[in-house]
């Protein structure tokens, strides 16, 4: 589904190199996890996959379902079936949750939405994510707690149902109960036809998930790949063995 080859990126504002020859392959049905110390390039990778203009690809390629997407903008990449959750979701004053979800769904599918079915499906998802029904009328993320914002991103993920979900520290700053709800959202989304890339510092979000691969990202490169036991090792010992 996603193939990243020898990816090099720089920060546009100062020209500093961040990703330095990164390779990654994700197949349908897989859950991949990327861990690494602060400043290693984890969020840069997520943003580069989604064509954030703050980062420029200087070498290498990003291939999604067999198509090189290096030259596609963010909107076109999203319409191919990619989704990115943010470490710090932005607030959108004046845009209600309901209108945001309907507009996003309509733009993703290009088809007119049956409002009755859409409302029914949305309310069912909100119950499963423990989101109160009146949240639909609130401005997106305005006045929301950190946990509410992350639950809202799970609602967006399940509503849009993309082919590839990239979750950039979705568990950041959450308490135990909120982490469980986010984890349950990932379980609801995951199937044999889609894939998930989780970027995290913690193993708590991974508990109960069927993880296929864990990658350690250090100084812009993946330096170690293993199974779920690698995450437990890092949780216990940190990154000292990979910082040489």
Q: Give tens-digit pLDDT for 80-106.
A: 999 999 878 889 999 999 999 999 998
Give a yes or no: residue 20 inside a domain. Answer: yes
Give a yes or no: residue 32 inside a domain. Answer: yes
Give a yes or no: residue 96 inside a domain. Answer: no
Q: State the alpha helices, DSSP H only, in the chain.
A: 42-49, 74-79, 97-109, 115-128, 146-160, 176-189, 228-237
Asked if 31 and 85 touch (Cβ cutoff 8 Å), the reply is no
Give a yes or no: residue 117 inside a domain. Answer: no
Give a yes or no: residue 95 inside a domain. Answer: no
Instruction: Give the residue with greater pLDDT, 5 vs 180.
Output: 5
The pLDDT confidence band at residue 114, using thresholds 50, 70 and 90, is confident
Asked if 192 and 28 touch (Cβ cutoff 8 Å), the reply is yes
- Secondary structure (H, E, C), 55-103: EEEEEEEEEECCEECCCCCHHHHHHCCEEEECCCCCCEEEEEHHHHHHH
- pLDDT, residue 216, reads 96
Q: What is the CATH number of the domain that holds 175?
A: 3.40.50.300
pLDDT over threshold 90, residue 121: yes
pLDDT over threshold 80, residue 205: yes
d(CA 28, CA 192): 6
User: Rounded to an integer, what is the distance from CA 82 to the centroid of its chain?
Assistant: 9
Could you count the other beta carbons within 10 Å of the beta carbon of residue 49? Answer: 23
Give a yes or no: residue 103 inside a domain. Answer: no
Give a yes or no: residue 214 inside a domain. Answer: yes
* Predicted confidence (pLDDT) per residue in 64-77, tens digit: 999 999 999 999 99
User: Cα-atom radius of gyration of the chain, to the nearest Å?
Assistant: 18
* Segments forming the whole domain that contains residue 213: 2-90+164-242
Token pair, residue 137, equals: 């009328």
Based on the structure, what is the number of domains in the chain?
Answer: 1
Percent of the chain past pLDDT 90, that is, above it, reads: 75
d(CA 48, CA 62): 9
Give a yes or no: residue 231 inside a domain. Answer: yes
Asked if 159 and 122 touch (Cβ cutoff 8 Å), the reply is yes
- pLDDT, residue 208, reads 87
Kind and range of the H or E run holding 223? strand 221-226
């Amino acid at each position: 589904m996603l193939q990243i080859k020898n990816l090099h990126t720089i920060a546009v504002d100062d020209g500093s190199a961040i990703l330095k020859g990164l390779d990654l392959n994700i197949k349908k049905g897989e859950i991949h996890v990327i861990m690494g110390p602060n400043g290693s390039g984890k969020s840069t990778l997520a943003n580069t996959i989604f064509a954030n203009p703050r980062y420029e690809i200087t070498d290498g390629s990003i291939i999604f379902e067999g198509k090189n997407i290096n030259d596609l903008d963010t909107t076109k990449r999203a319409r191919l079936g990619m989704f990115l959750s943010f470490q710090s979701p932005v607030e959108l004053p004046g845009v209600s949750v309901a209108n945001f979800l309907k507009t996003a769904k309509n733009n993703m599918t290009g088809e007119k939405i049956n409002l009755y079915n859409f409302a029914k499906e949305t309310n069912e998802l909100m119950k499963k994510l423990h989101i109160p029904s009146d949240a639909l009328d609130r401005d997106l993320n305005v006045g929301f707690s950190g946990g509410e914002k992350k639950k809202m991103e799970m609602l967006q993920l399940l509503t849009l149902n993309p082919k590839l979900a990239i979750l950039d520290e979705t568990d950041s700053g959450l308490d135990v109960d909120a982490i469980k709800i986010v984890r349950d959202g990932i379980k609801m989304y995951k199937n044999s036809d889609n894939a998930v890339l989780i970027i995290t510092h913690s193993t708590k979000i991974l508990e109960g998930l069927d993880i296929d691969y864990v990658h350690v990202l250090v100084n812009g490169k993946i330096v170690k790949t293993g199974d779920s036991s690698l995450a437990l090792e890092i949780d216990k010992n940190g990154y000292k063995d990979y910082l040489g």
